[in-house]
Structure 1
Amino acid sequence: MRKGFTIWLTGYSGSGKTSIATELYRKLIERTIPCEILDGDVIRQHLSQGLTFSKEDRCENIMRIGYVAQILSKHGVGVIVSAISPYKSARDMVREKIHSFVEVYVNCSIEECERRDVKGLYKKAKTGEIKNFTGISDPYEEPVDPEVTCYTETESIDESVAKILACLEALHLIGHIKTGITG
Structure 2
Amino acid sequence: MTTAHTPAAGATAEAAPAAAACERGATVWLTGLPSAGKTTLARALAKRLRAEGRKVEVLDGDEIREFLSKGLGFTREDRHTHVTRVGFVAQKLAANGVMVLAPVIAPYAASRAAVRERHAAGGTEFLEIHVDTPVELCSERDVKGLYARQAAGEISGLTGVDDPYEAPRIPELRIRTQSRSVADSSAELHAFLTERGLA
Q: Same fold (TM over 0.5)?
A: yes
Partner of residue 179, structure 1 = none
Among the aligned pairs, what percent are the same residue?
43
Cα deviation for residue 120 of structure 1 reads 2.1
Kindly indicate whether the alpha-carbon contact (under 8 Å) linking 1:38 and 1:79 is maintained by their aligned counterparts in 2: yes
Amino acid at match of 1:82: P
- The whole-number CA distance in structure 2 between the counterparts of 1:164 and 1:118 is 22
Partner of residue 120, structure 1 = 145
* TM-score normalized by the length of structure 1: 0.91
Partner of residue 73, structure 2 = 52
Cα deviation for residue 167 of structure 1 reads 1.6
Structure 1: which 4+ aligned runs deviate by more than 2 Å? none
SS in 2 for 1:135: coil
- The whole-number CA distance in structure 2 between the counterparts of 1:18 and 1:42 is 11
* TM-score normalized by the length of structure 2: 0.84
Kindly indicate whether the alpha-carbon contact (under 8 Å) linking 1:126 and 1:136 is maintained by their aligned counterparts in 2: no
Cα deviation for residue 131 of structure 1 reads 2.2
- The whole-number CA distance in structure 2 between the counterparts of 1:31 and 1:81 is 19
Cα deviation for residue 93 of structure 1 reads 0.9
- Residue among 171, 185, 188 paired with 1:160: 185
- Residue among 171, 178, 182 paired with 1:146: 171
The aligned runs of 1:93-132 (5 Å cut-off) are 93-98=114-119, 99-132=124-157
- The whole-number CA distance in structure 1 between the counterparts of 2:155 and 2:48 is 36
- The whole-number CA distance in structure 2 between the counterparts of 1:13 and 1:66 is 19
Amino acid at match of 2:99: G
Q: Deviations over 1:92-128 (max 9, x none)?
A: 1111122211111111111110100143211222333
Kindly indicate whether the alpha-carbon contact (under 8 Å) linking 1:103 and 1:147 is maintained by their aligned counterparts in 2: yes
Larger radius of gyration: 2
Q: Deviations over 1:130-179 (max 9, x none)?
A: 121101110000111111111111221111111211221222223xxxxx
Q: Which runs of 5+ in 2 are unaligned?
A: 4-22
SS in 2 for 1:95: helix
Cα deviation for residue 12 of structure 1 reads 0.6
- Residue among 133, 146, 161 paired with 1:136: 161
Q: Which runs of 5+ in 1 are unaligned?
A: 175-183
SS in 1 for 2:80: helix
The CA RMSD measured in Å over matched residues stands at 1.1
Kindly indicate whether the alpha-carbon contact (under 8 Å) linking 1:147 and 1:167 is maintained by their aligned counterparts in 2: no
- The whole-number CA distance in structure 2 between the counterparts of 1:134 and 1:128 is 15
